[in-house]
Amino acid sequence: MNVNIKIKLFATLRAPSTETADCYSIPAGTTVHALLEQLKIPVEEVNLVFINGNCGNLTSILEGGDRLSVFPSLGGG
């Protein structure tokens, strides 16, 4: 069974097809790590994960209706 989530990738993690996916279908029980692998996003480049505005991590399981936001490490001056 598949569920739909919303994905927002920031800065260098942006992928053309999923930059702002408002309705992205994934198998039920998918972890953030598995989704990032599916999207070909190197997990070592991920610094922050938010699910529905709350801190998550690579082992968090995504559920239908979730809003996933993924941020890389950011540098600056």
Reported pTM:
0.87
- The per-residue pLDDT for range 10-61, each reduced to its tens digit, is 888 876 555 557 889 999 999 999 999 998 889 999 999 999 999 999 999 9
Q: Enumerate the domain spans of the chain.
A: 2-72
The domain 2-72 is placed in CATH, from the list 3.40.50.720, 3.10.20.30, 3.30.420.40, 3.40.50.2020, at 3.10.20.30
Q: How confident is the model at residue 76 (pLDDT cuts 50, 70, 90)?
A: low
Identify which of 7, 6, 3 has the alpha carbon closest to the alpha carbon of residue 27.
3
User: How far is 54 from 39, CA to CA, in rounded Å?
Assistant: 22
User: How far is 12 from 45, CA to CA, in rounded Å?
Assistant: 9
